[in-house]
Chain A
Amino acid sequence: MDLKGIANKPMKKFFESERNRFFEPDAFFTQRVMAQSDAAKKTAHGQDFGFWDILPSSTRPVLALAVVLILCFVVVEIFIPQYPQRGMVESFLAPEQSPVESFLYTDIDVPSQDLLQQLIEPED
């Protein structure tokens, strides 16, 4: 059975018209193909891969979590003062305190209650 057998004129006409319908490459087609080929070669050699592209996708979340935890640790190390008894405000203001003020604020020898009472009581 062929198209003559089918006696299908529209189909025959269609195929005849199709024979004359085709596109031709433009003047820059070769350049575009070569540019794409060069880009594909670079990608194949891993030159365009970043750190995350090299990693298998299954390990990415684990490594991302590890990086976040390391960053958190570094931030804590930088911003939280080393001395546990000193808060952030104290450590920030520390350079502005004179030695006298420093003695006043950080003196741990608290006077006895009697002495304090004497100091507080108005003088006669």
Chain B
Amino acid sequence: MEFDRELIVRAQNGDRSAHEAIVNQYSAMVFRLVSRFFRNREDVEDIAQDVFLKLFARIDQVRPDENFPGWLARVTVNTCYDELRKTRRRKEALETYGPEIAGGQTTAPREPDSLGRARLALQRLDPKLRIPLVLKEVEEMSVEEIAKTMGLTQTNVKVRLFRARKKLQAMLGGPEGDSQ
């Protein structure tokens, strides 16, 4: 994606119209990336807003000669990671201390279809493993791009991808899972 260095410099000087232009230009990219990790429109919108507010707060840290879209993608992925971790902690707390739901249930929960099971399995993955896997398989990023976006080494990304796939395989029952 082409980006305007002049725009970044203007934004760094506090030009409001430059900030607005950045949101106009990059909101679709941020929305697309956040949508990979969240399925609810309101969540996606809240996180995207958060990303731009973080960007404006740290705009001085951006070097105009740096790859701005890559930098923004990194802020977006980090914000998603924080939010996924928070969601995971809330869910765990609810499961541990929340009300007993299963006891009061009169009907058996509906068995999810194969895509539903895949989605659930992916949601159960630790965000540390889930994010690189989604970036690789859905965003079709290279290992190098993922490493840059997540601030990791390429080896670390490869290890995480391997672990993520292994865990998914275990959760879905491996090749036998196909027939289910």
Binding site for B on A (CB under 8 A): 1-3, 5-11, 13-15, 17-19, 21-25, 29-30, 32-34, 36-37, 40
Contact = CB atoms under 8 A, between A and B. Distances in A.
Q: Is the interface of B mostly helix, strand, loop or mixed?
A: helix
Interface stretch (B18-26, B61-69, B80-88): B18-26
B118 interface: yes
Given A7-B178, A37-B52, 7 more contacts: A8-B174, A13-B114, A14-B119, A15-B137, A18-B36, A23-B31, A37-B56
Contacts of B168: 6, 8, 11
B175 interface: yes
A9 B180 CA distance: 10
A15 B135 CA distance: 10
Q: Is the interface of A mostly helix, strand, loop or mixed?
A: helix
Contacts of A25: 27-28, 31, 45, 48
B115 A33 contact: no
B122 interface: yes
Interface residues of B, number: 44
Contacts, number: 101
Interface string B22-48: 011001100110111001010011001
A34 B20 contact: yes
Contacts of B156: none
Given A23-B35, A34-B23, A8 B178 contact: yes
Contact of B174 (A6, A14, A32): A6
A13 B166 CA distance: 18
A34 B49 CA distance: 9
Contacts of B35: 21-23
B49 A9 contact: no
Interface string B101-142: 000000000000011011101100000000000100110100
B165 interface: yes
A32 B178 contact: no
- Among A33, A34, A36, A40, the most chain B Cβ lie within 10 Å of the Cβ of A33
A10 to B, nearest CB: 4
A42 to B, nearest CB: 13
A29 B165 contact: no
